[in-house]
Chains A and B, each alone.
Chain A
Amino acid sequence: MLETATVDRNESMQSRRNRFGMRFGDPIFRSVTLAFTVLVLLILGGVIVVLFDGAWPALRIFGPAFVWTSGWNPVTEHFGALVPLVGTIVTSVIAMVIGVPFSFGLAFFLTEICPHRLRQPIAIAIELLAAVPSIIYGIWGLFVLAPLFQHYVEPFLISTLGSVPLLGAFFQGPPIGIGMLLAGLILGLMVLPFITAVMREVFLSVPPVLRESAYGLGATRWEVAWRVVLPYCRTGVVGGVMLGLGRALGETMAVTFVIGNAHRLSMSLLAPGTTISAALANEFTEADGDIYTASLVGLGLVLFILTFFVLAIGKRLLLRSTKGTLA
Chain B
Amino acid sequence: MLKSFGKFGRAGLFAISALVVATAAQAGDISGAGATFPYPVYAKWADAYKKETGIGLNYQSIGSGGGIKQIKAKTVDFGASDKPLKPAELDAAGLTQFPMVMGAIVPVVNLPGVKPGEMKLTGKVLAEIYLGNITKWNDPQITALNKGVKLPDSAIAVVHRSDGSGTTFNFAYYLNAVDSGWSKVGVDASIEWPVGLGGKGNEGVSALVGQTQGSIGYVEYAYALQNKLTYSDMINKDGKTVSPSLESIQAAAANADWASVPGYGVILADQPGAKSWPMTAATFILVYKVQDKPENAKEVLNFFGWAYDKGGKMAEDLIYVPMPKNVVSMVKKSWSEIKDSSGKPVL
A residues within 8 Å of B by Cβ?
46, 49-50, 52-54, 56, 71-76, 142-143, 146-147, 150-151, 173-174, 176-178, 256, 260-264, 272, 274, 281-283, 285-288, 292
Contact = CB atoms under 8 A, between A and B. Distances in A.
A74 B188 CA distance: 8
Contacts of A49: 2, 5, 9
B155 interface: yes
Contacts of B245: none
Interface of B: 2-3, 5-6, 9-10, 12-13, 62-66, 68-70, 154-155, 157, 162-165, 185-193, 195-200, 207-208, 211-215
A286 B211 contact: no
A286 B164 CA distance: 5
A262 B62 contact: no
B69 A288 contact: yes
A150 B65 contact: no
Contacts of A53: 2-3, 5-6, 9
B9 A286 contact: no
A282 B205 CA distance: 13
B203 to A, nearest CB: 12
A73 B191 contact: yes
Contact of B10 (A52, A54, A173, A176): A54
A146 B213 CA distance: 10
A282 B168 CA distance: 14
B202 to A, nearest CB: 13
A178 B6 contact: no
A146 B211 contact: yes
B9 A54 contact: yes
Nearest to A259: B197
A285 B65 contact: yes
A298 B171 CA distance: 29
B63 A285 contact: yes
B65 A288 contact: yes
A76 to B, nearest CB: 7
Contacts of B10: 54
Nearest to B136: A174
A287 B185 contact: no
A157 to B, nearest CB: 15
Contacts of B64: 286
Given A73-B191, A74-B164, A286-B65, 11 more contacts: A49-B2, A50-B5, A53-B2, A74-B189, A146-B212, A150-B212, A176-B155, A176-B214, A260-B197, A281-B200, A285-B62
A266 to B, nearest CB: 11
Contacts of A150: 212-213
Contacts of A74: 164, 188-192
B191 A283 contact: no
Contacts of B63: 285-286
Contacts of A151: 213
A304 to B, nearest CB: 14
B68 A288 contact: yes
A288 B189 contact: yes
A55 to B, nearest CB: 10
8 contacts: A49-B9, A50-B9, A74-B191, A142-B211, A151-B213, A264-B193, A282-B162, A285-B70
A281 B163 CA distance: 9
Contact of B211 (A50, A54, A177): A177
A150 B112 CA distance: 14
Across chains A and B, which 8 residue pairs bring their CB atoms closest together, nearest first? A174-B155, A286-B164, A286-B65, A261-B198, A75-B186, A260-B197, A50-B9, A261-B162
A285 B196 contact: no
